[in-house]
Amino acid sequence: MLPDSRDARIADLILTAPRLAYGMIIGVQRAPYTIDIPIQFSSSTVNAPPVVQSFQNNVSLDTLIERVTYNIDQPNTFPGSPFRSLYFNQMKQSGATGIGIQMDVYGSPRYSVNLTWTDLGNLFDVLAITWPNGLPLPKQSNVKLSAILLQTPISVPVNVLVTFCGWQCVDSSLDGLSDDDARERLRKLGFTVPDPKVLLRSS
């Protein structure tokens, strides 16, 4: 393991997103990238058919999601009360929002982050634990959030805005690389890069 935290990070990205790791190493210009998924519950039905929303467009470049934030608004809850903001603040602090989320990533590969409903306040800890160096979304990926109410909200509608914060390498030459190309170039640079071909029978 490389000692520096940045190097450790790159070593991890080499495994999960070789193109992004290669871009970081050779110093391709990066640009911040945020994507929103708005969710709105129009009724207070608990355990109803889920409200489903995705990124409006697939991500067009390889994207590394570093953090996911969210905010919740219930415009009809305690309107005019000076403690209104305290209510929302405490709800977010507690991590118990009463909103269950199931997250699927579409594209290639395609997978589910969780198979059952996880509270919105806790779900994105998964990203911090399982992808400590960022959630890589290959280009043409999309994220689908299915949301249900696990608890009766104080009022409806409930507006939720989930924001995925990340970055992309903005260079067309990197965009044209395949994962195998990136692995090969990383090997030339002296990194240890496992080769998935040993697992598979090439067709």
Partner 1 sequence: MIKESQLLSLQRTRDGVAQELRTPFRGGRYEIVTAGPNPELSFIGSDPYGTNVGTGLVVPATPSAAIGGARYLMLLARASFNASEAGVRLVGMRMYAEIIARVPIGDTGQTTVYRREIESPIWHPPDGDISWHVMVINKVQRDTRNPANADGFIYQDALSPALLYQTTGPYVPPNGGRPWGTPLAASLGNMHDLRYRTRFDQSERQLDIIVPAGCDIGLFVSVRQNDPTTNPSASGLTANQFAALSREDQFLTAFNAYAQYGVIFGALAFSENIEYGTTRDRNFGGGAPEGVFAGGSEPVSDMQVPAPEPTPEIGVPPPAPVPPPTEVPAPAPTSKRAA
Residues of this chain that interact with partner 1 (CB under 8 A) are 36, 38-49, 51-54, 56, 58, 73, 75-76, 102, 104, 106-110, 112, 115, 142, 144, 151-152, 155-157, 159, 180, 196-197, 199-203
User: What whole-number distance in Å separates Cα of residue 178 and Cα of residue 188?
Assistant: 15
Q: Least distance from C-beta 86 to partner 1, angstroms?
A: 21
Residues found in the chain: 203
User: What whole-number distance in Å separates Cα of residue 175 and Cα of residue 61?
Assistant: 7
Q: Least distance from C-beta 29 to partner 1, angstroms?
A: 27
CB 102 within 8 A of CB 146: yes
Q: Least distance from C-beta 113 to partner 1, angstroms?
A: 10
Q: Which is nearer to partner 1, 31 or 198 (by Cβ)?
A: 198
The alpha helices in 17-124, defined as continuous H runs, are 18-26, 84-94, 120-123
Task: Determine phi and psi for 183, rounding to 5 degrees.
Answer: -60, -40
Pairing of strands 135-137, 30-41: unpaired
Q: Which is nearer to partner 1, 104 or 171 (by Cβ)?
A: 104
Q: Which is nearer to partner 1, 42 or 94 (by Cβ)?
A: 42
Q: Which is nearer to partner 1, 79 or 82 (by Cβ)?
A: 79
Q: Which is nearer to partner 1, 5 or 202 (by Cβ)?
A: 202
Q: Least distance from C-beta 77 to partner 1, angstroms?
A: 12
User: What whole-number distance in Å separates Cα of residue 105 and Cα of residue 111?
Assistant: 5
